[in-house]
Chain A
Amino acid sequence: MLKICLNAVAPVHNGIVKGLKGLLVTPFFRPLETITKPENESDVFKLFLDFFSKPRIRGGVHAEQNKAQTATQNIVYQFPLPKKLYIPLQQHVGKPAEPLIRVGDNVLKGQLLAYSQGLISAPVHAPSSGVILDVNDYPAPHPSALPIRMIVLETDGKDEWLETHPVDDPFQLTPEDISLRVGAAGIVGLGGATFPTAVKLNMGRENQIDTLIINGAECEPYLSCDDRLMQERAEQIIDGVRLMLHGMVTESAVVAIEDNKPQAYLAMQAAAQPYPLIKVLQIPTRYPMGWDRQLIRYVTGKEVPVGCRSSEIGVTIHNVGTAHAVHKALRYGQPLVSRVITVSGGAVAKPMNVEVPLGTLISELFDFCQVNMEQTARVIMGGPMMGDALPHAGLPTVKATSGVLALTQDELKNTDEQPCIRCASCISVCPAGLRPLDMANNIRINQLDVAVDLGLKDCISCGCCSYICPSNIPLVQYFKYASGEVVARQQAQHKSEQTKRLIDDRNARMERIARQQREEELIRIAAKAERERLKAQQETLV
């Protein structure tokens, strides 16, 4: 009876809450108490209990979505193969890969170009068939555009695959073997963190985690590549999730999808239906819901201590794109050579999600999507909240590139900086519980130590504070500058300490030598005196 009542009440309650939410939406997008959507009657109880427990979401903003332009169209696969591909040797966290090809070599699609080095690293494969033109330094897809090592591949247009050797049933493989194959396929976290997936699988297995979370939040505005992937390739993603579970010897997985992607949710739920171990969960739409630690807290209620990996508390988190790449690697033996990228923004005439080979220049992507470069005020790699502004479009796409945006001046936040009025919006939106305004004030007067004490190192650069600031203070810019400066100062201090130590050592050594010389001199003088004494004695005797 009670269940029936609650069932009847829940939608009404939801409606009222939504109505209120709509009523209260303000030009400032102040964070309102987020209401989770109860899925069934037991969740209503949970919701009721949660009201009295600590909040599971902290901070965050309701940024304007701008996803509809791309999220409503199918992924485009007809991207014309570029003449040249620029493949950086480092597209992941850790050590860069080491090339094993020579200039002039003919390579096939999927052939290993550079092998992974060290414990945390990932190999790089040929995104298409062709000839190696060069292995040299080229501008990196980074705000600095400083040169990094890249392999330049001239494609031959055949796009000919290397013969692959897929296994018949990957579930017969040992978990260790799964990790090895995932590692050999060059798969890294495709949500943007680019941490080598195999290393994460190993950590999950070694720590005997109990939950695998699949991050389908995609909370960044504009981006919809994960959304489309979930809608169009849900079964493949679920297969990848099952393979990951097998690789980590883990029993349960939760796919978390923001509730602004109802179609992706339905597709994933349908695909996960046969596997009761995989639960698909709708989560509130709120940036930065896709921050791994926020998601872990929301889904499991656990908080990852500072300085720990999530696997240490029994949770591992992977992106949906990564799950899809794992599926391709294990079912078809295909390494990671392409990815789906969202191209969007006000200056893009044909915004879309498009699958491109890694190493494609952004400029070619822009030509394909008809970007008006005159209107483009800023080119951004990644989302508009955490992405980096690029100095020009002649830079390659990499494994981390989830989106490339060409934003017009109208879309950008005003950069006309005004004094801080201590409105504390930045404090209320900070998901990490920091006080951005105090940190920024201390950085401005060069008190970096104070900023570190205030929690500079706990900043995740999510951009919520910069987003909300009415005085248009580029807070994240301050924090990134300060973090870099702190490291530089530590290095400088370390260097001066080393120099001082060397000087001290040298002084001590010189002193020791001088003392030795003095002592030898004294001994010599004493010996001489002794000799002369003996001589005189002998003379007197004679």
Chain B
Amino acid sequence: MMANMKPNSGAHVGVKASVSLIMWQVMLAISPATVYGLFCFGWPALNLFIITVLSAVFFEAFCLRLGGKLAKPVLMDGSAVLTGWLLAMTLPPWAPWWIGVVGSGIAIILGKQVYGGLGQNLFNPAMLARVALLISFPIEMTTWANVSPLFFSHSPGLIESWHITFIGLENLDATTGATTLGFVKTEFSQNRVLVDILKDYSGFLNFIGWTRGSLGETSTLLLGLGGVWLIRQGVIKWYIPISLLLTVTVLAGFFHTLDDQHYVSPFLHLSSGSLMLTAFFIATDYVTSPNTKTGQLVFGAGCGLLIFVIRTWGAYPEGAGFAMLLMNSATPLIDYYIRPRIYGRDRKGKPLEIPKS
């Protein structure tokens, strides 16, 4: 009915924007961190990245065909590629191929298409897949490869990388280890204090991303730059990232000042794990975040709080995935209670009183 109507009311002009343009801009913003991650972790990471993105596109096309829709125009909006891309960023770089495939399947089918496709999902698809994988395959999802850059002598070559991706990793101890946050967590359980734990820790290397971690999450610097570019482009607003990062910083700072041997510093929080990726690229997902400025500030603060709580007192060293899912489920609630005031009405929707002059 409406679709066939010729538009006769405004606005007749408008911004030259499209969904795919937004998606491409986001991809452009994460590409420096991705390229860096691929460089740091070499061929196996590239294999995993390609497999994850391709299977995301495949599952999207499959679901669309199942629903009797033309797949090509929807695929062209780039949202499936972006979902696969973001998921690949959060996976351990040398994870086997099926982690990527299963993860993409969960993200696209369970995370997006069962809700009705783009714009309808309650949870961020990439985070849903990440959490599902982490719970289902804890070994594969916590095997972190050492930094072994492309073309370095001790790094795996192309042929060797196929072996890692499709058959599995041998001599685990020599090529893998713990992430900074994971190491801190296990050492705390041995009753050691931070001054001992962080003897070999380099804040600078952590900041630029020369450390073990997920494929695209290690470089705080590049992710932060990409995020700032996105804000400058107007694709995302600053409300969520800033309130999220500020909450983590304030909380971490407070506890670190109270006891600097049992609570890691704000800087380590900010430069470790998936905080930057989450703050700028995951939490700012339009579909699963609140609509208003205030709502977004609350949402960001909630994410920050949960991330800090899970990292500090939870069983997992990193809590971004869980925090995101919890806050995603709170989004409808936030949108229900925090809404803009309509002109000429009060917050409850009643007309304003005429001022007595």
Contacts and interface: CB of A to CB of B under 8 A. Distances in A.
B354 to A, nearest CB: 6
B182 interface: no
A190 interface: no
B2 A422 contact: no
Interface string A432-468: 1111010000001000000000010010011110111
Contact of A303 (B12, B14, B237, B352): B352
A432 B343 contact: yes
Contacts of A304: 344
Contact of A307 (B5, B79, B235, B351): B351
B107 to A, nearest CB: 16
A467 B14 contact: yes
Given A413-B13, A469-B14, A476-B11, A418 B340 contact: no
A303 B17 contact: no
A303 B120 CA distance: 36
Contacts of B17: 27-28, 468, 470
Contact of A470 (B15, B237, B340, B344): B15
Contact of B343 (A58, A221, A420, A481): A58
Contacts of B21: 470
A417 interface: yes
B6 interface: yes
B243 to A, nearest CB: 16
20 contacts: A26-B233, A143-B8, A303-B344, A305-B352, A305-B353, A306-B343, A384-B13, A387-B12, A412-B12, A418-B118, A423-B286, A424-B292, A432-B343, A433-B341, A464-B11, A467-B11, A471-B19, A472-B18, A474-B9, A477-B2
B35 to A, nearest CB: 24
Contacts of A468: 14-15, 17
Given A422-B291, A431-B343, A463-B10, A26 B19 contact: no
A428 interface: yes
Interface of B: 2-3, 5-19, 21-22, 77, 79, 117-120, 232-235, 237, 286-287, 291-293, 339-345, 349, 351-355, 357
Contacts of A431: 343
Given A418-B77, A467-B13, A477 B7 contact: yes
A13 B6 CA distance: 47
A470 B117 CA distance: 17
Contacts of B19: 418-419, 421, 470-471
A472 B14 contact: yes
A203 interface: no
B16 A433 contact: no
A240 to B, nearest CB: 27
Given A293-B344, A433-B340, A472-B18, A389 B291 contact: no
Contacts of A432: 342-343
A306 B119 contact: no
Contacts of B118: 418-419, 421
Contacts of B344: 293, 303-308, 458
A469 B14 CA distance: 8
Given A293-B344, A303-B344, A468-B15, A27 B2 contact: no
Nearest to B352: A305
Nearest to B79: A421
A470 B2 contact: no
The B contact surface, by secondary structure, is loop
A302 B7 CA distance: 35
A41 interface: no
A427 interface: yes
Interface in A274-312: 293, 302-308, 312
Contacts of A417: 3
Q: Most chain-A Cβ atoms within 10 A of its Cβ — which of B12, B17, B21, B232?
A: B12
A458 B286 contact: no
Contacts of A293: 343-344
A140 to B, nearest CB: 13
A306 B345 contact: yes
Given A378-B12, A468-B14, A477-B2, 12 more contacts: A27-B15, A303-B344, A305-B344, A306-B343, A306-B351, A386-B11, A411-B12, A418-B77, A430-B340, A432-B343, A433-B342, A463-B9
Interface of A: 24, 26-30, 58, 63-64, 143, 210, 221, 293, 302-308, 312-314, 378, 380, 383-389, 405, 407, 411-424, 427-428, 430-435, 437, 444, 455, 458, 461-464, 466-472, 474, 476-478, 480-481
A250 to B, nearest CB: 14
Contacts of A306: 342-345, 351-352
B228 to A, nearest CB: 12
Contacts of A470: 15, 17-19, 21-22
A375 to B, nearest CB: 15
Contacts of B5: 477, 481
8 closest A-B pairs by beta carbon, nearest first, are A413-B14, A463-B11, A463-B10, A30-B234, A143-B8, A305-B352, A306-B344, A26-B234
Contacts of B8: 143, 388-389, 477
Contacts of B11: 63, 384-386, 413, 463-464, 466-467, 476
B90 to A, nearest CB: 21
B103 to A, nearest CB: 22
Contacts of B16: 27, 414
A30 B239 CA distance: 14
Nearest to A464: B11
Contacts of B286: 421-424
A414 B19 CA distance: 12
B344 to A, nearest CB: 4
B289 to A, nearest CB: 8
Q: Most chain-B Cβ atoms within 10 A of its Cβ — which of A314, A386, A387, A421?
A: A421
A313 B14 contact: no
Contacts of B77: 418
Contacts of B342: 306, 432-434, 455, 458
Nearest to B7: A474
Given A26-B233, A28-B234, A437-B291, A303 B343 contact: yes
B331 to A, nearest CB: 10
